[in-house]
Structure 1
Amino acid sequence: MSRAVVASAYGGPEVLTVVDSDPGAPGPGEVVVEVRAAGVNPSDWKGYSGQWGRDRARLPLRLGREVAGVVVAVGPDVETRSEGDEVVAWPVVGGYADRVRVPARVTAPRPAGLGWAQSAGLLLTGSTAVHLLVATRVGAGDTVLVHGGSGGVGRLAVQLARLRGARVIATASPGSHDDLRRLGATPVAYGPGLVERVRALEPVEGAVTAAIDTAGTDEALDASVELVADRSRVATIAGFVRGGELGVQLLGGGKGADPGTDIREAARDQLAALADEGVLDVVVAHTYPLEDAARAHLESMQGHPHGKLVLIP
């Protein structure tokens, strides 16, 4: 019998429990994946925190949106996957488990250059980064300001923007500056005086052509619209209230935001291929056993973990 982590009520991490869970046989177009690693994301705990409502009919909530693992069963009409294939999968439902049944179409080959934990942290943050860059039309010749450059989404946005030929300025705490330089970005500290520090790097008016916000702070958004002339080239995945007031693009799952479903799902194979080529790097901050999902969520809630958090069944 497989184990799975569920939220049995709405509240804090104390509501998480490990239960027996049989994923069942795969139906048409489905595969069963033996999970080797499951990515932890803020959306996992926001779902049971009550931020998105408290519909008791949805309980218990199955958690986990992205996994890396091995295909152990293949349903009818699946020609793209075979038993024994190592895959990454996103979006899934109930990825915090030993085994999970998923549509074959949400899987991609696991990048050979990444470990299991790294692989489990690639797709959700990577597809979000792709959406941000596509929406703000970042390409060769641009200078893009990435707020929260050392976070999961920000770090991949830095790498993907560089692959598109853009110059990148990324905000982060000083302890992350060397890592950002290694990725090809020019780091800058956030906090009071941010606009002046960026202008010291780009003294020509209008030199910063796009900005993406993964931090969600008023400072990040206010600085973005001060530095970027075209507000359609500023996007946020976290600061929906201030972003709405400023008229920038709101992306993701927030109220009034563009989910970018087609863009994000189209990025799945692209991200896996780039990681397989060794040109994308994923940092894992900490791993936890499946039964310690509550501790992983507490760390996620407390702020910037400087890398992905991953559960290992």
Structure 2
Amino acid sequence: MADQINVARQAKESKKLKNQLKTDFIGFGFIAPWLIGFLGFIIGPMLASLYFSFTNYDLLTAPTWIGLENYINMFTNDDRFWKAIRVTFIFVFGSVPLKLAFALFVAMLFNNKRRGVGLYRTLYYVPSILGGSVAIAVVWKQLFGRDGAINEILSVFGIPSISWVTSPDFALSTLIILVVWQFGSPMLIFLAGLKAIPNELYEAASVDGANPFLQFIKITLPMLSPVIFFNLVMQTIQGFMAFTQSFLITEGGPMDNTLFYAVYLYEKAFAHFDMGYASALAWILLLICAVFTAFIFRTAKSWVYYESEGGN
């Protein structure tokens, strides 16, 4: 009798295992296109670039193993590498806070129900869609050129005309302004976060005598901190990877004052055909993004409020 029970139990478990394997097989079949793309277009190229970073490779001949020579030359003999690092850091630390602050300001304006607010949201989001295009880069270059509309406006106030995009003092600032102008994506995310804040909190604060500024500091910012955290991480990574603005508008000049890290990497890879060195640059960029992302995550515990956790 016991043997029959064991046999029945084993048969039941075997059938259950077969059904589970069938379900897993169907699931893997559905995600197979993504897995193939992930392995073939992300993991594969990453591993290849890691290997190339330790080689001398010019795309035309077989790569030659040179060990850490690319990394040593980068940190000890490459002045343009340090220039690109400095310019990129200035760009990130200048553009990201301004972009997020402006996006939050506009999101708060659009948070109220007003006539035509949907149309305005769409119009303000459009620059984020077109911001990376060649056309916008050309228009921006014309606007800040010596004969552009910006100088035409400033001439009314007696300010002499200059070519903003070719001036060593102002070229990087024009690119920062362009990025801040593309605030549509974080604005929409901020707007979604604002709408998720219960209106009862503001009503209770008003009854207690809190003015709008105190409500913003004590209610809006804490409740919106997870959204700020998300936008900060995404915009910081995008800032370090910025390429189009510098490449199309200033071409890294003047005097490398707008030489973004990604532009320098591109020059090494496709202008000088030094793919091994460019691969090493790419891995340093990945490390920089990882360090800053980890730092933001590490500090998030002290300023990001999650209601489900009852505090920070």
Greater RCO (CA < 8 Å, at least 6 residues apart): 2
TM-score between both structures, scaled by the size of structure 1: 0.27
TM-score by length of 2: 0.27
Structure with greater proportional strand content: 1
**Greater C-alpha Rg:** 2
Larger relative helix fraction: 2
